[in-house]
Amino acid sequence: MIKRISWNLLITRYPAFFSTILLIVVLIVNAIVQPNIFKLDTLNGNMRIFLPLILLAVGQTFVMICGGIDISVGGIVSIINTILATQVGLNGSIEQMWKFVLISLLAGMLAGAINGFFIAILRLQPIITTYATGFIYAGFALFLLPNPGGGIPRVAADIYRTTTPLGLPLAFFVIIVVLLIWWYLRSTRYGRFLYAVGGNKESAYQSAVPVTWVILSTYVISGLMAAFAGIAITLLSGSGNAEIGNTMTLSSITAVVIGGTAFSGGIGGVAGPILGSITLGLIQNVISFAQINTWWETLVKALIIVVALAAPGVINLFGRRK
Amino acid sequence: MKKFVISPPIAALTLAIVLFLLSGFLPNGYGSDVDVAIAQATNIVRLAVFLGVIAAGQTLVIISGFEGIDLSAGSVVTLTAILTYTIVSGENSMVIPALLVALVVGGLVGFLNGLGVTFLKISPFVMTLGMSGVVTGTIIVINHGNISGKIAPIMTRTIARPISPDIPIPGAIVIWLIFGVFMWLLLERTTFGKNLFAIGVNRVTAKLSGVNVTWTNIGAYALAGSLTGFGGFLLVGNTGVVFIALGQPYLFPAIAAVAVGGTLLSGGKGSYWGTMAGAIVLTLITSLLTTMQMGEAVRRMVLGATLLALISIYGRQRSLRQ
């Protein structure tokens, strides 16, 4: 009985608890199949691949803590990628790159604000609204760049790929900045509003929380983070492809859930999804390094994810039986 | 003062008819030729059948509430289509066994979804998303990319062709109408249907009123899987070919059809008539966009915008200020 309560408490109070255990397990397996994983080059190589999904999942978390969902993020990533690839170009200057990075961030926030307008102000249902806007965004990306091509200056891509300040991958510093901002935000009034709205909209409204604006803001944040993710993935790939974000939407949601944020809202944090995204990336790593037959890849990956999702529930179930 | 309420199924159907009439004025529309108009309308409804049947299972899980959704539907359609294809292999006598296998296998996948959602408390979105990966992975492992089989002549005869030379109504439409009546009976005239709405509105009150919440919920997922399996069976009967990406394009349009048909995505309210109307509207819009020969980019944007406009009409949730 006591054990059950403490387990539940652990899950609710420290949503990142389970994802940490999971991450450690996957990391150990990864270290066995790929012994050089902790070498700086490999670490940097891995982290720069994981970063876009991490950023996307962080944005998704804000929306999900507030009880919503954003399935348009992949479309936003594609838009940003196509903007950068078509407007800056392979021979563009660094100044131009900076200019369009800023424009991208604004574009991401605008796309998020459109989602927020329909969901918070017109009160449409999040999943279907962002599905519809996602279609618009993906279509717009395809409109900007019908065929894969274009690119960004090599110098910019190299900065992202090879910079290792203080002997650590660049992605680590980005993650630390994101975490610091989150820890500050959580202690502000806005942070409390987020959880209040996610927990119960009616009572939040009765307690004079500006529910509409809080919900709207989460979609703007999600759009902004999707823009950051789009910039990161463009720096990583160095080229443009209007379909680049398609598969990222569902991965970002899986990462958030593995990270311990409930779908119903009101609980969760930003640390969990970061761990969740890294876990998803490592699972992919393990699969490619363990030399699993190509035919089995999809199944093995899906099974690991299902088991990871089911594990807290299984433990809870047995805890209750005792 | 009595508030003017539009019934979603009727609104969607009216919209479909108006859109269809307007489409006659398009440069390559049917103009004043009534025969062509009827043929076009029949064809659109025939295409809507498959989306409509696949959306039936989705309607059930969405009505059951608690963020209910079935993202494994796309892969279940592919799986059951492939099963039908290989089991039938051109033999009329194997059609009924194949149909049974499709229903049972679909139901089994749905049952597993239900177990995960209820007992392990995994949110339906990620549970069914994970299951989708597992099903797709299993198909790849078993088939290794090559599928041999053939559909039976009797399937083409009953599904794709008109019911008799004099009546130019394809068999699929008749099957859909019977199916619609079955769904109406299930939702409105059985204890299971009533329980389904009850748990969708409020799980606690449903439980206190003596509804077995857990098993009703599992039942909804299992039945949804079966209905989706039936969708896969019908689809392969129409297309005559199978491939790994057969079902996936139907997944989100099916959810959109449910939403356009006025079923609340938060559960507890909805009807299958609405979903049928929604499927017709969506198919109509898609085929109109194709007839107008728009580019893929513009088509996606217009489809997204139309969907957004449709749900803005009656998909709005109630205000907190009440």
ipTM, 2 dp = 0.81
**Cα angle: A248, vertex A251, A253; to 5 degrees:** 115
Which chain A residue shows the shortest CA-CA distance from B262? A125
A143 to B265: CB separation less than 8 angstroms, yes or no: no
User: For position B6, what pLDDT does the model report?
Assistant: 67
Question: Does A8 lie at the interface with B, CB-CB under 8 angstroms?
Answer: no
Count structural domains, chain A: 1
Task: Tell me how close the Cα of B279 comes to any Cα of chain A, in angstroms.
Answer: 15
A298 to B133: CB separation less than 8 angstroms, yes or no: yes
Q: For residue A41, is it within any domain?
A: no
Q: Give the three-class secondary structure for A240.
A: strand
User: Please, are residues A182 and A61 in contact by the beta-carbon 8 Å criterion?
Assistant: no
Residue whose structure tokens are 């217009």: B302
User: What letter represents residue A175's amino acid?
Assistant: I
Listed residue (A221, A231, A222, A239) closest to A100, CA to CA: A231
* Pick from A129, A211, A299: CB nearest B141: A299
Question: Does A287 lie at the interface with B, CB-CB under 8 angstroms?
Answer: no
Listed residue (B98, B237, B91, B88) closest to B159, CA to CA: B237
DSSP codes of every residue in B148-188 = -----HHHIIIIISBSSSSS--BHHHHHHHHHHHHHHHHHH
Question: Does A178 lie at the interface with B, CB-CB under 8 angstroms?
Answer: no
Q: For residue A322, is it within any domain?
A: no
A136 to B300: CB separation less than 8 angstroms, yes or no: yes
pTM attached to this predicted model: 0.87
Question: Residues of A with CB below 8 A from B264's CB?
Answer: 125
B138 to A138: CB separation less than 8 angstroms, yes or no: no
- Describe the crossing of helices A73-87 and A248-258 by its angle, rounded to 10 degrees: 130
* Pick from A128, A135, A309: CB nearest B259: A128
Question: Residues of B with CB below 8 A from A137's CB?
Answer: 304
B131 to A264: CB separation less than 8 angstroms, yes or no: no
- Show the tokens assigned to A229: 């993710």
Q: Mean pLDDT throughout B294-322?
A: 77
Q: For residue A79, is it within any domain?
A: yes
User: For position A134, what pLDDT does the model report?
Assistant: 92
Residue pLDDT tens, chain A, 322 long:
455 556 666 665 666 677 788 888 888 888 888 887 777 777 788 888 899 999 999 999 999 888 888 999 999 999 999 999 888 877 778 888 888 899 999 999 999 999 999 999 888 888 889 989 998 999 999 998 888 888 888 777 777 777 777 777 888 888 999 999 998 988 899 888 888 888 777 888 887 788 889 999 999 999 999 999 999 999 888 888 888 888 888 889 888 888 877 666 667 778 888 888 998 888 888 888 877 777 888 888 888 888 888 877 777 777 665 5
Q: Is the dihedral of CA A73, A74, A75, A81 positive or negative?
A: positive
Q: Which CATH architecture has domain B8-314?
A: Orthogonal Bundle (1.10)
Between A205 and B113, the more confident residue is: B113
How many whole angstroms separate alpha carbon B200 and alpha carbon B116? 18
Length of chain B in terms of residues written: 322
Q: Mean pLDDT throughout B8-33?
A: 78
Residue ranges making up the domain that contains A280: 51-291
How many whole angstroms separate alpha carbon A155 and alpha carbon A238? 10
Q: For residue A213, is it within any domain?
A: yes
Question: Residues of A with CB below 8 A from B140's CB?
Answer: 295, 298-299
Q: For residue A309, is it within any domain?
A: no
Residue whose structure tokens are 């299971």: B192
Say which residues have a Cβ less than 8 Å from residue A44's Cβ, sequence separation at least 6.
A162, A164, A169, A170, A171
Which chain B residue shows the shortest CA-CA distance from A129? B308
Residue whose structure tokens are 């999900």: A64
Listed residue (B66, B135, B106, B257) closest to A306, CA to CA: B135
Q: Give the three-class secondary structure for B189.
A: coil
Which phi and psi angles does B170 have, rounded to 5°?
-65, 150
